[in-house]
Structure 1
């Protein structure tokens, strides 16, 4: 019974054209202004013995940042539905909590995939960021797994927090730690050694490694991709269990 929840989520996102356009236009504006500003400031950078422009290096990082912030909508939506009792009505139907979680997460994941593809298209057409067409399917898979993982993490955190303001504040702090301890704007070698313990447990580090390998080397580190998929599946299962506590009245 995932499809009714997924259909409902997509209807909610597309009901307001202004909201949908803002979700799609915001990352495009981000990448246009960032790329226009940085393109003439920083030269080239080395990634796995391949020299690429800094703007090309930064594109996967901007895509991942967008995934992080867009995935927050899933947990915020669940929070709002819990305190408006909508979630009680939904779960009174023959829909399990696991199906509810997966439907909600898939809904926001489709949005993040559209955002990511639009950003990559703009980067390719407007700023000559090279990327082989054959790597697009695996890039989509990586974006999907990243969105699923971040959404599940946010939901797990949500059930332990009482107010949406506290949740938003905590997530904003966590996102800052994820952003600046991962090689989003600089190579991992440039990160201070005392931050490496955080860097190497940061999921963003591995998603960036996969995206850059797919885009610029035409290769996918399958072990990392498989491990990310397994961890994401376990997080979704845990999130569905935790949701039971959250929805108890």
Structure 2
């Protein structure tokens, strides 16, 4: 008897602990059983901050942002967090692509594990990894730099980081479903991150960017992540809502498209 896996239900009878829990546990095992990959996924953002402490932060000094003069270290920390976020999203996208090429994705999100649990499990596991990266980076920032952010500002940074993580992981996972050739996918996904990062007001204020880049930055989703984290750090929750709503909108559109794209690709088997 043949079974059309693409028509499997989006949700399925619960596994022990639930399908979502099982998927997240699988992602956790894949990450932690290779200690080298675990360290490489968490440490880089802390290393970047140390480099800023000894080089660019001392070179630039202070910048004007939002009517305030702030140390460049405070200005640049959100860009470091976004850089790590894009690196983690790249890893998540590559993982999904490899599972697609091995037909593992269809096996996993067919019965008894629904594709909704499969997609959300990957998104939540990547989000938790990014929050761990961010906490490690912020602990280094507290140690190295003279930050005096109120507790509510730290909470705003972590809140925007979590939402931005869902949005960017969704975008990268969606991108992973649009390719069938590994070399093209690898080249594209490794080019996208630096292009998105450096065509946004990441390490420089938007008014210092070239006019063309200023216009392009408004179509760049990384701009909204950086602005949200930066304004959460400097001004608190009251300033982050416009950027947070944009990021929620990106996640709300991307996740259903990701699930649909997985089904379309599965039907091509």
Q: Does the alignment reach a TM-score above 0.5?
A: yes
Specify which of 194, 205, 210 is matched with residue 212 of structure 2.
194
- Deviation of the 1:237 alpha carbon: 0.9
Q: Evaluate the alpha carbon distance shift between residue 107 and residue 133 of structure 1 in structure 2; reply closer, same or farther with a 3 A threshold.
A: same
- Deviation of the 1:10 alpha carbon: 1.1
* CA distance in structure 2 between the partners assigned to 1:24 and 1:53 by the alignment: 25
Specify which of 100, 103, 106 is matched with residue 82 of structure 1.
100
Aligned position for 2:81: 63
Specify which of 147, 164, 171 is matched with residue 146 of structure 1.
164
Specify which of 235, 241, 254 is matched with residue 222 of structure 1.
241
User: Is 1:56–1:130's contact at 8 Å kept on the other side of the alignment?
Assistant: no
Aligned length: 249
The reply to whether residue 207 of structure 1 matches residue 225 of structure 2 is: yes
Structure 1 vs Structure 2 CA RMSD: 1.6
Q: Aligned to 1:39, what secondary structure does the other structure show?
A: helix
The reply to whether residue 98 of structure 1 matches residue 137 of structure 2 is: no
Specify which of 62, 65, 73 is matched with residue 44 of structure 1.
62
Q: Aligned to 2:58, what secondary structure does the other structure show?
A: coil
More displaced 10-residue stretch of structure 1: 128-137 or 47-56: 128-137
User: Is 1:71–1:109's contact at 8 Å kept on the other side of the alignment?
Assistant: no
Aligned position for 2:195: 177
Specify which of 253, 256, 267 is matched with residue 234 of structure 1.
253
Q: Pick the structure with greater CA Rg.
A: 2
- Deviation of the 1:235 alpha carbon: 0.7
- Deviation of the 1:178 alpha carbon: 0.9
Aligned position for 1:133: 151
* CA distance in structure 1 between the partners assigned to 2:56 and 2:68 by the alignment: 20
Q: Aligned to 1:130, what secondary structure does the other structure show?
A: coil
TM-score, structure 2 normalization:
0.87
